[in-house]
Amino acid sequence: MPTIVILGGAYVGVRVAHSLLKTTAKTVKDLKIILVSKNSHFYWNMASVRLVIPGQLKEEQYAVPIAKGFEQYPAESFQLIVGSAEGLDTDAKTVSVKVGDAEQSISYDHLVLATGSRYVDSNVPWKANGTYEELAATIKNVQERIAEAKEIVVAGAGATGIELAGEIAFEYGKEKKVTLLSGDSQIFGGDSVASSAANELKKLGVVIKTSARVANTTTLADSGKTEIALENGEKLTADLFLSAMGVVPNSEYIPAKLLNAKKFVEVDETYRVTGAADVWAAGDVVAKPKATFVNGDLQATGLAKNIDLVLKGKTPAAISLMPFDVAAASVGRNRGVGRMGVVKLFSFMVYQMKGKTLGIQKMPGYHNGSSF
Protein backbone atom coordinates (compact mmCIF):
# COMPACT_ATOMS: atom_id res chain seq x y z
CA MET A 1 0.00 0.00 0.00
CA PRO A 2 1.82 3.13 -1.20
CA THR A 3 1.82 6.06 1.22
CA ILE A 4 2.13 9.55 -0.13
CA VAL A 5 3.02 12.21 2.38
CA ILE A 6 2.30 15.83 1.46
CA LEU A 7 3.82 18.63 3.53
CA GLY A 8 1.94 21.97 3.55
CA GLY A 9 -1.82 22.42 3.49
CA ALA A 10 -2.15 25.42 1.20
CA TYR A 11 -3.05 25.62 -2.52
CA VAL A 12 -0.43 23.17 -3.77
CA GLY A 13 -0.71 20.58 -1.00
CA VAL A 14 -4.50 20.53 -1.02
CA ARG A 15 -4.68 20.32 -4.80
CA VAL A 16 -2.19 17.43 -5.02
CA ALA A 17 -4.06 15.56 -2.26
CA HIS A 18 -7.44 15.91 -4.02
CA SER A 19 -6.01 14.97 -7.42
CA LEU A 20 -4.43 11.79 -6.07
CA LEU A 21 -7.57 10.83 -4.14
CA LYS A 22 -9.85 11.49 -7.09
CA THR A 23 -7.84 9.71 -9.78
CA THR A 24 -4.91 7.63 -8.57
CA ALA A 25 -6.80 6.13 -5.61
CA LYS A 26 -9.23 4.57 -8.11
CA THR A 27 -6.54 2.48 -9.79
CA VAL A 28 -3.74 2.08 -7.24
CA LYS A 29 -4.87 -0.30 -4.52
CA ASP A 30 -4.80 0.90 -0.89
CA LEU A 31 -3.29 4.28 -1.70
CA LYS A 32 -2.93 6.38 1.44
CA ILE A 33 -2.49 10.15 1.52
CA ILE A 34 -1.14 11.87 4.63
CA LEU A 35 -1.37 15.66 4.56
CA VAL A 36 0.74 17.49 7.14
CA SER A 37 -0.10 21.12 7.77
CA LYS A 38 0.84 23.57 10.49
CA ASN A 39 -2.39 25.39 9.79
CA SER A 40 -5.58 23.39 10.41
CA HIS A 41 -7.40 25.67 7.95
CA PHE A 42 -7.25 26.20 4.21
CA TYR A 43 -6.41 29.90 3.97
CA TRP A 44 -7.13 32.04 0.91
CA ASN A 45 -4.12 34.29 1.56
CA MET A 46 -4.59 36.14 -1.75
CA ALA A 47 -7.44 38.02 -0.05
CA SER A 48 -5.30 38.91 2.99
CA VAL A 49 -4.84 42.53 1.86
CA ARG A 50 -8.63 43.00 1.92
CA LEU A 51 -9.59 40.85 4.91
CA VAL A 52 -7.45 43.04 7.19
CA ILE A 53 -9.85 45.92 6.48
CA PRO A 54 -12.44 45.59 9.27
CA GLY A 55 -15.84 44.42 8.02
CA GLN A 56 -14.79 43.54 4.47
CA LEU A 57 -14.78 39.73 4.54
CA LYS A 58 -16.23 37.10 6.82
CA GLU A 59 -13.91 34.45 8.19
CA GLU A 60 -15.66 31.62 6.33
CA GLN A 61 -14.92 33.40 3.04
CA TYR A 62 -11.16 33.08 3.51
CA ALA A 63 -10.48 30.24 5.98
CA VAL A 64 -12.14 26.84 6.31
CA PRO A 65 -11.05 23.66 8.13
CA ILE A 66 -8.96 21.49 5.79
CA ALA A 67 -10.47 18.29 7.24
CA LYS A 68 -13.97 19.20 6.03
CA GLY A 69 -12.84 19.26 2.41
CA PHE A 70 -11.70 15.63 2.65
CA GLU A 71 -14.67 14.07 4.49
CA GLN A 72 -15.96 12.68 1.18
CA TYR A 73 -13.09 10.15 0.87
CA PRO A 74 -12.87 6.75 2.61
CA ALA A 75 -11.37 7.33 6.07
CA GLU A 76 -8.54 4.84 5.46
CA SER A 77 -7.32 6.69 2.37
CA PHE A 78 -6.73 10.12 3.90
CA GLN A 79 -5.21 11.44 7.10
CA LEU A 80 -4.66 15.06 8.11
CA ILE A 81 -1.94 15.72 10.65
CA VAL A 82 -1.96 19.24 12.06
CA GLY A 83 1.70 19.63 12.87
CA SER A 84 4.98 20.94 11.63
CA ALA A 85 7.54 19.08 9.52
CA GLU A 86 10.84 19.40 11.37
CA GLY A 87 13.15 16.99 9.58
CA LEU A 88 13.56 14.86 6.47
CA ASP A 89 15.71 11.77 5.94
CA THR A 90 15.65 10.94 2.24
CA ASP A 91 17.67 7.71 2.68
CA ALA A 92 15.37 6.25 5.34
CA LYS A 93 12.38 7.89 3.53
CA THR A 94 10.97 9.37 6.72
CA VAL A 95 9.76 12.79 7.81
CA SER A 96 9.73 13.90 11.41
CA VAL A 97 6.64 15.83 12.35
CA LYS A 98 5.98 17.77 15.53
CA VAL A 99 2.42 17.58 16.81
CA GLY A 100 2.04 19.69 19.94
CA ASP A 101 5.13 18.75 21.94
CA ALA A 102 5.44 15.24 20.55
CA GLU A 103 7.68 14.36 17.64
CA GLN A 104 6.72 11.47 15.36
CA SER A 105 8.37 9.81 12.40
CA ILE A 106 6.32 9.12 9.27
CA SER A 107 7.45 6.85 6.44
CA TYR A 108 6.64 7.66 2.84
CA ASP A 109 6.83 6.02 -0.55
CA HIS A 110 6.49 9.40 -2.24
CA LEU A 111 6.87 12.79 -0.59
CA VAL A 112 5.55 16.16 -1.79
CA LEU A 113 7.13 19.34 -0.45
CA ALA A 114 4.53 22.13 -0.55
CA THR A 115 5.44 24.21 2.50
CA GLY A 116 5.63 27.45 0.53
CA SER A 117 7.19 30.60 1.87
CA ARG A 118 6.53 33.23 4.52
CA TYR A 119 7.06 36.91 5.15
CA VAL A 120 9.94 37.66 7.54
CA ASP A 121 7.78 39.87 9.75
CA SER A 122 5.66 37.65 12.01
CA ASN A 123 3.02 40.34 12.70
CA VAL A 124 1.35 40.24 9.27
CA PRO A 125 -1.08 37.68 7.79
CA TRP A 126 -0.02 37.76 4.11
CA LYS A 127 0.88 34.08 4.52
CA ALA A 128 0.05 31.55 7.21
CA ASN A 129 3.12 30.64 9.25
CA GLY A 130 1.83 28.86 12.26
CA THR A 131 -1.32 27.42 13.72
CA TYR A 132 -4.71 28.72 12.68
CA GLU A 133 -5.18 30.26 16.14
CA GLU A 134 -1.98 32.26 15.64
CA LEU A 135 -3.07 33.40 12.18
CA ALA A 136 -6.54 34.40 13.40
CA ALA A 137 -4.97 36.40 16.25
CA THR A 138 -2.65 38.19 13.81
CA ILE A 139 -5.57 39.05 11.53
CA LYS A 140 -7.61 40.44 14.42
CA ASN A 141 -4.68 42.48 15.68
CA VAL A 142 -3.99 44.04 12.26
CA GLN A 143 -7.70 44.80 11.76
CA GLU A 144 -7.89 46.60 15.10
CA ARG A 145 -4.72 48.56 14.51
CA ILE A 146 -5.82 49.62 11.01
CA ALA A 147 -9.15 50.82 12.42
CA GLU A 148 -7.40 52.97 15.04
CA ALA A 149 -4.44 54.34 13.09
CA LYS A 150 -4.51 57.74 11.40
CA GLU A 151 -1.08 57.46 9.76
CA ILE A 152 -0.11 54.12 8.25
CA VAL A 153 3.19 53.26 6.62
CA VAL A 154 3.31 50.20 4.36
CA ALA A 155 6.86 49.06 3.64
CA GLY A 156 7.63 46.97 0.58
CA ALA A 157 6.21 48.00 -2.78
CA GLY A 158 5.84 44.62 -4.47
CA ALA A 159 2.36 43.38 -5.41
CA THR A 160 1.43 42.75 -1.75
CA GLY A 161 2.44 46.23 -0.54
CA ILE A 162 0.75 47.90 -3.53
CA GLU A 163 -2.48 45.98 -2.97
CA LEU A 164 -2.45 46.62 0.77
CA ALA A 165 -1.84 50.36 0.43
CA GLY A 166 -4.60 50.48 -2.20
CA GLU A 167 -7.12 48.62 -0.04
CA ILE A 168 -6.55 50.88 2.98
CA ALA A 169 -6.69 54.10 0.93
CA PHE A 170 -9.79 52.92 -0.95
CA GLU A 171 -11.63 52.18 2.30
CA TYR A 172 -10.66 55.26 4.30
CA GLY A 173 -9.85 57.96 1.73
CA LYS A 174 -8.70 61.16 3.41
CA GLU A 175 -9.49 59.82 6.89
CA LYS A 176 -6.09 58.15 7.02
CA LYS A 177 -2.72 59.01 5.55
CA VAL A 178 -1.21 56.01 3.77
CA THR A 179 2.46 56.04 2.78
CA LEU A 180 4.04 53.29 0.67
CA LEU A 181 7.80 52.83 0.97
CA SER A 182 9.74 51.31 -1.90
CA GLY A 183 13.34 50.22 -1.43
CA ASP A 184 13.99 50.65 -5.14
CA SER A 185 13.71 53.72 -7.33
CA GLN A 186 10.43 52.36 -8.76
CA ILE A 187 7.57 50.42 -7.18
CA PHE A 188 6.51 46.91 -8.40
CA GLY A 189 10.17 45.94 -8.86
CA GLY A 190 10.42 48.31 -11.83
CA ASP A 191 7.91 46.27 -13.87
CA SER A 192 6.68 47.86 -17.12
CA VAL A 193 3.35 48.60 -15.38
CA ALA A 194 5.05 50.18 -12.34
CA SER A 195 4.20 53.74 -13.33
CA SER A 196 0.55 52.81 -13.94
CA ALA A 197 0.43 51.28 -10.47
CA ALA A 198 1.95 54.43 -8.99
CA ASN A 199 -0.67 56.58 -10.79
CA GLU A 200 -3.54 54.43 -9.56
CA LEU A 201 -2.26 54.63 -5.98
CA LYS A 202 -1.83 58.40 -6.19
CA LYS A 203 -5.44 58.72 -7.36
CA LEU A 204 -6.45 57.02 -4.11
CA GLY A 205 -4.29 59.46 -2.14
CA VAL A 206 -1.40 57.12 -1.31
CA VAL A 207 1.92 58.89 -0.82
CA ILE A 208 4.75 56.94 -2.44
CA LYS A 209 8.34 57.24 -1.29
CA THR A 210 10.88 55.54 -3.52
CA SER A 211 14.52 54.65 -2.73
CA ALA A 212 13.29 54.47 0.85
CA ARG A 213 14.73 51.26 2.23
CA VAL A 214 13.84 50.54 5.87
CA ALA A 215 16.83 50.07 8.18
CA ASN A 216 14.92 49.40 11.40
CA THR A 217 11.79 50.31 13.33
CA THR A 218 11.31 51.17 17.00
CA THR A 219 8.21 51.69 19.10
CA LEU A 220 8.34 55.08 20.81
CA ALA A 221 7.71 54.68 24.53
CA ASP A 222 5.80 57.92 25.06
CA SER A 223 3.36 57.91 22.11
CA GLY A 224 3.28 54.23 21.16
CA LYS A 225 3.96 55.29 17.57
CA THR A 226 6.49 53.51 15.40
CA GLU A 227 9.63 55.30 14.29
CA ILE A 228 10.91 54.07 10.96
CA ALA A 229 14.58 54.70 10.20
CA LEU A 230 15.49 54.55 6.54
CA GLU A 231 18.90 53.49 5.27
CA ASN A 232 19.42 57.00 3.87
CA GLY A 233 19.23 58.39 7.42
CA GLU A 234 15.71 59.79 7.12
CA LYS A 235 13.18 59.06 9.88
CA LEU A 236 9.40 58.75 9.68
CA THR A 237 6.80 58.10 12.34
CA ALA A 238 3.46 56.34 11.98
CA ASP A 239 0.63 55.05 14.15
CA LEU A 240 0.94 51.76 12.33
CA PHE A 241 3.78 50.17 10.39
CA LEU A 242 2.87 47.22 8.17
CA SER A 243 5.65 45.25 6.55
CA ALA A 244 5.19 43.59 3.19
CA MET A 245 8.93 43.09 2.75
CA GLY A 246 11.06 39.99 2.62
CA VAL A 247 9.88 36.53 1.66
CA VAL A 248 11.76 33.39 2.73
CA PRO A 249 11.09 29.72 1.91
CA ASN A 250 9.75 27.34 4.56
CA SER A 251 12.58 24.90 3.95
CA GLU A 252 14.41 24.70 7.29
CA TYR A 253 13.47 21.02 7.67
CA ILE A 254 14.88 20.08 4.25
CA PRO A 255 18.49 18.82 3.93
CA ALA A 256 20.75 21.56 2.52
CA LYS A 257 21.84 19.38 -0.41
CA LEU A 258 18.32 19.65 -1.86
CA LEU A 259 18.25 23.45 -1.71
CA ASN A 260 19.76 26.19 -3.84
CA ALA A 261 21.78 29.12 -2.50
CA LYS A 262 18.61 31.00 -1.57
CA LYS A 263 17.25 27.94 0.27
CA PHE A 264 14.51 27.15 -2.26
CA VAL A 265 14.07 23.52 -3.36
CA GLU A 266 15.77 22.47 -6.62
CA VAL A 267 13.59 20.46 -9.01
CA ASP A 268 13.89 19.10 -12.55
CA GLU A 269 11.30 19.82 -15.26
CA THR A 270 9.05 17.04 -13.92
CA TYR A 271 9.14 18.76 -10.48
CA ARG A 272 10.99 15.85 -8.96
CA VAL A 273 13.51 17.07 -6.41
CA THR A 274 17.06 16.89 -7.67
CA GLY A 275 19.10 14.41 -5.65
CA ALA A 276 16.33 12.60 -3.77
CA ALA A 277 14.39 9.59 -4.96
CA ASP A 278 10.61 9.86 -4.84
CA VAL A 279 10.55 13.42 -3.51
CA TRP A 280 8.60 16.09 -5.39
CA ALA A 281 8.08 19.79 -4.79
CA ALA A 282 5.97 22.62 -6.15
CA GLY A 283 4.74 26.12 -5.41
CA ASP A 284 6.44 28.86 -3.44
CA VAL A 285 8.97 26.51 -1.79
CA VAL A 286 10.36 26.05 -5.31
CA ALA A 287 9.50 29.55 -6.62
CA LYS A 288 10.43 28.66 -10.19
CA PRO A 289 9.91 30.39 -12.59
CA LYS A 290 8.10 32.73 -10.19
CA ALA A 291 6.29 32.28 -6.88
CA THR A 292 2.68 32.64 -7.97
CA PHE A 293 -0.55 30.80 -7.34
CA VAL A 294 -0.96 30.35 -11.11
CA ASN A 295 2.40 28.58 -11.43
CA GLY A 296 1.90 26.51 -8.28
CA ASP A 297 -1.49 25.41 -9.53
CA LEU A 298 -0.13 24.15 -12.85
CA GLN A 299 2.78 22.49 -11.08
CA ALA A 300 0.48 20.76 -8.57
CA THR A 301 -1.68 19.38 -11.37
CA GLY A 302 1.32 18.09 -13.31
CA LEU A 303 3.03 16.72 -10.25
CA ALA A 304 0.00 14.66 -9.19
CA LYS A 305 -0.10 13.20 -12.72
CA ASN A 306 3.60 12.41 -12.50
CA ILE A 307 3.24 10.55 -9.21
CA ASP A 308 0.38 8.62 -10.82
CA LEU A 309 2.63 7.72 -13.76
CA VAL A 310 5.53 6.63 -11.55
CA LEU A 311 3.24 4.48 -9.38
CA LYS A 312 2.20 2.72 -12.58
CA GLY A 313 5.81 2.16 -13.64
CA LYS A 314 5.79 4.91 -16.26
CA THR A 315 8.08 7.87 -16.85
CA PRO A 316 7.07 11.29 -15.46
CA ALA A 317 6.53 14.12 -17.95
CA ALA A 318 7.95 17.63 -18.09
CA ILE A 319 5.42 20.09 -16.68
CA SER A 320 4.63 23.02 -18.93
CA LEU A 321 3.74 26.35 -17.42
CA MET A 322 2.26 29.54 -18.86
CA PRO A 323 4.05 30.51 -22.07
CA PHE A 324 4.29 34.13 -20.92
CA ASP A 325 4.86 35.97 -17.68
CA VAL A 326 1.86 37.56 -15.96
CA ALA A 327 2.02 40.41 -13.47
CA ALA A 328 -1.06 41.97 -11.91
CA ALA A 329 -2.06 43.93 -8.84
CA SER A 330 -5.43 45.16 -7.71
CA VAL A 331 -5.45 48.77 -6.56
CA GLY A 332 -8.41 49.40 -4.32
CA ARG A 333 -11.72 47.62 -4.69
CA ASN A 334 -12.50 48.66 -8.26
CA ARG A 335 -9.29 49.10 -10.26
CA GLY A 336 -6.03 47.34 -11.03
CA VAL A 337 -2.91 47.21 -13.18
CA GLY A 338 -1.28 44.34 -14.99
CA ARG A 339 0.07 42.75 -18.12
CA MET A 340 0.17 39.40 -19.87
CA GLY A 341 3.60 39.02 -21.35
CA VAL A 342 4.26 42.45 -22.82
CA VAL A 343 0.57 43.19 -23.39
CA LYS A 344 -0.75 45.70 -20.91
CA LEU A 345 -4.16 44.94 -19.40
CA PHE A 346 -6.87 47.53 -18.95
CA SER A 347 -7.77 48.36 -15.38
CA PHE A 348 -11.24 46.79 -15.70
CA MET A 349 -9.70 43.52 -16.93
CA VAL A 350 -7.51 43.23 -13.83
CA TYR A 351 -10.55 44.18 -11.75
CA GLN A 352 -12.60 41.37 -13.34
CA MET A 353 -9.80 38.79 -13.15
CA LYS A 354 -8.61 39.61 -9.70
CA GLY A 355 -9.53 42.73 -7.77
CA LYS A 356 -13.32 42.25 -7.74
CA THR A 357 -13.18 39.24 -5.42
CA LEU A 358 -9.47 38.42 -5.01
CA GLY A 359 -10.46 34.91 -6.02
CA ILE A 360 -12.48 34.00 -2.92
CA GLN A 361 -15.35 32.61 -5.02
CA LYS A 362 -12.93 29.85 -6.05
CA MET A 363 -12.21 28.79 -2.49
CA PRO A 364 -15.08 26.31 -1.88
CA GLY A 365 -14.31 24.28 -5.02
CA TYR A 366 -10.62 24.35 -4.27
CA HIS A 367 -11.06 23.38 -0.65
CA ASN A 368 -13.22 20.33 -1.36
CA GLY A 369 -11.67 19.49 -4.71
CA SER A 370 -14.88 19.84 -6.74
CA SER A 371 -13.11 22.26 -9.13
CA PHE A 372 -10.49 19.73 -10.17
Ligand X SMILES: *[C@@H]1O[C@H](CO)[C@@H](O)[C@H](O)[C@H]1NC(C)=O
Ligand Y SMILES: Cc1cc2nc3c(=O)[nH]c(=O)nc-3n(C[C@H](O)[C@H](O)[C@H](O)COP(=O)(O)OP(=O)(O)OC[C@H]3O[C@@H](n4cnc5c(N)ncnc54)[C@H](O)[C@@H]3O)c2cc1C
**Which residues form the interface with ligand Y (CB under 6 A)?**
7-13, 36-39, 45-46, 48-49, 84-85, 114-117, 126-129, 160, 163, 250, 253, 283-284, 291-294, 296, 354
CB of 328 to ligand Y, least distance (A): 6
* Sheet strands side by side (includes 94-99): 84-89, 94-99, 102-107
Distance CA 138, CA 175 (A): 24
Radius of gyration of the chain (CA): 21
Distance CA 245, CA 187 (A): 12
Q: Which residue is nearest to ligand Y (CB)?
A: 116
Residue 196's binding partner among ligand Y, ligand X, none (Cβ under 5 to 8 angstroms by kind) is none
Interface with ligand X (CB under 6 A), residue from 26, 101, 216, 261: 216
Cβ proximity to ligand X: between 289 and 365 the closer is 365
Least distance to ligand Y, CB of residue 81, Å: 9
Task: Tell which positions 102-161 bind ligand X, by CB under 6 A.
Answer: 118, 120, 122, 129-130
Q: How many residues bind ligand X (CB under 6 A)?
A: 16
Give the whole-angstrom CA distance, residue 75 versus residue 72. 9
- Whichever of 156 and 338 has its CB closer to ligand X, that residue is 156
Per the CB < 8 A criterion, the answer to whether 204 and 119 are in contact is no
- Rounded to whole angstroms, how far apart are CA atoms 177 and 267? 44
Least CB distance to ligand X at residue 233 (A): 6
Contact call for residues 258 and 250 (beta carbons, < 8 A): no
Contact pattern for ligand X over residues 59 through 98, marking x by CB under 6 A: -------------x-----------x--------------
Q: Is 61 helix (H, G, I), strand (E, B) or coil?
A: helix
Pairing of strands 240-243, 151-155: parallel
- Which entry of ligand X, ligand Y, none binds 105, CB below 5 to 8 A by partner kind? none
Out of 23, 255, 364, 372, point to the residue binding ligand X (CB under 6 A). Answer: 364
Which residues in 156-258 belong to E strands, given as ranges?
Answer: 177-181, 207-209, 214-219, 226-230, 235-238, 240-243, 247-249
Q: Which of 81, 207, 229, 322 binds ligand X (CB under 6 A)?
A: 229
Residue 199 belongs to what H/E stretch?
helix 194-203
Give 361: exposed, middle or buried? Use CB within 10 Å, 0-12, 13-18, 19+: exposed
Which partner in ligand X, ligand Y, none is near 372 (CB below 5 to 8 A by kind)?
none
Residue ranges that bind ligand X, judged by CB under 6 A: 72, 84, 118, 120, 122, 129-130, 215-216, 229, 231, 233, 364-365, 368, 370
